[in-house]
Every structure is written in structure tokens, then in C-alpha cells.
Amino acid sequence: MIQLRLIANLRSGKPRRRGGILRLLQKYAARSRDPVISLTEGPGHATQLAREALAAGCQRVVAVGGDGTVNEVAQALIRTSAALGIVPLGSGNGLARHLGMLRGLEDALDLATSPFSRTADIDTGTANGHPFINVMGLGLDAEASRRFNQLPRRGFWAYAGALLAAVSSRRSERCRITFSGRVETHDIMLIAVANSDQYGYDARIAPGGRVDDGLLDLVTVGPAGLPGMVHLGARLFSGALAGHSSVRRFKSGRFLIERPAPGIIHTDGEVHETGAIVEVTVLPGSLKVVVPALCKAVPHKPGAFPA
């Protein structure tokens, strides 16, 4: 049997689900030989708990929570031999959706804890030293994340409200982007750098993006006005964002983004103050993740066996 640890953030997602996940964890504990379930107490605690789990010899650490919890647990596991399991509780669940994990909480828990589950090596990224697993951004989506994190409620409509408020308050800014020997200068409302194909909620900022190709997808969205941004939002969910004239997309392993002044960025929805220059770099194959056996996002290579 593998030695594992469950790290749960019961504040993730919608309040009405918290009783259900607690009962599910209690059910798991009752049938497990030596369960260790740790509950987070605040920002950064999941990373600390994951490091303690590694020090105790755990080969698998399971994040029970949203994108922020997944990010915090993963930070401790990057470039180690331990694997990340995911039980998605959050609002968007971007990485879990990308990997095809939204099959119900009990199924997710069984997948995350089974010693027979498949693991795959995926890429991660850093933005000025802040790790991200799914997507980072600046401009409009960072402002929306800041507003959303201050709300007492979770869910899609709460995020949509935060995004609309951010659209009405932000102006475009001119940014210089250097990558792969090229320099691009654009007036942008937002820049997103994606490891997977989406933010969450199946909102595909980088359709076709992969977590195992050793590259990141940078997407810029230019000024479009409120009606234009609403139209872009619809295209985001239909996977047709790239066809819009305000959108540009580039692929590289490293991006240097220069904006007019210091400000905020987000990494998997968590907001940080940082400088005017933002360096974003991929770390290829740096994280082991438990994935469904037939995961299309990271398919088996020909002749390979499950890890």
C-alpha cells in the first residue's frame, strides 16, 4: 500500500457541499487502515502540510479543495517523486476539468487514493517565482480574481459578477512581450499564460493546450468595450476565442512581460503584488499527478505502461 496524506480545505466551493465532503472523508477514514486527514486553517497552510507529509515519507498527497488548494499542495510536490491526487471541491476546478476528473466526489476520492491509479508527469510554471499549475494572468483576470477572493460566496455567478465589475473599472495597458527571439507589443485588457486549456468552468482560454508538451500558451485580449467583452466571454465557453480579432496567442517555454507599472498577477486564482516585469517560465514534466486511466489530456505514450 502507498503511504498517503489527504489535505482538505472545507472552505472551498459552495457551503452546502461541506457537510457532504466531511461525511465522505469520515467514511473513507472508517474503512482505511491508517488514514491521515489534515484540515487547512488558512492561506499557505496546505503547502506546509504537504511538506510535512513528504517529510513523513508519503508517496501521494491528495488535495481536497479548489484550484488554490491544488496549487498550494502541488508547490511542495514539484520536482519530487511524490504524486498529487485531486478531489475537486472548488468553483472552477480548472486542472481537474482539463484532466477529466469531474465524475463525482466519491469517484474522485477513490481515484486519488487507490494504489492502482495511473500517474502522469505534467508541466508546471512559475511567474516571478510564484508557482502555478493551471493558469496565471495579469490585467483583467487578476483584478477579477482579487474581487472574487474578497466575496463571501463562491460559484460561477459570483465570479461572473466579479469579472463584470473588473471590466467596468479597468482600462487597457500597453505591454511588451518577449519570447523565442520575438518581441510583440500590444494594448491589452488581459494576458493569460495557460498550462492547461482553461481557467475552469470549461472556459477555454487556450483550446487544445496541453499540460505535457513542455510549453505554455500566452493569450492576449485587447480592448473590446463591455459589449465586446461579453461577446468574448461567450466565445470563451464555446472554445472559439482564438477567432476574434482582439485575441492573440503565442506558445513558448518562457515569456518576459513588461507592463507600465507594478501591479497584481494571479496564479491559479491566488493574487500577488509583483513588479512591472513578469517572467513566466515552464518547468517541463515537474509534477506527478494521479489521472483517470483513459485521460485524454495526457494519453499513454505508445508502448508505455501506467506509471
Q: What is the pLDDT of residue 306?
A: 44
Residue 256: phi, psi to the nearest 5? -115, 115
Burial class for 167, CB neighbours closer than 10 Å (0-12, 13-18, 19+): buried
- Segments of the chain assigned to CATH 3.40.50.10330: 4-116
pTM: 0.89
Q: How far is CA 23 from the centre of its chain?
A: 26
Residue 303 confidence (pLDDT) = 45
- Fold of the domain built from segment(s) 130-284: Tumour Suppressor Smad4 (2.60.200)
What is the pLDDT at residue 288? Answer: 97
The rounded average pLDDT for each run of 10 residues, N- to C-terminus, in the chain (307 residues) is 86 66 82 81 94 96 94 97 93 90 85 93 97 95 82 72 72 93 94 94 90 97 77 78 85 97 94 96 97 84 48
4-116: CATH topology is: Rossmann fold (3.40.50)
Model pLDDT, residue 149: 75
Q: Which three cell numbers stand for residue 5?
A: 496524506
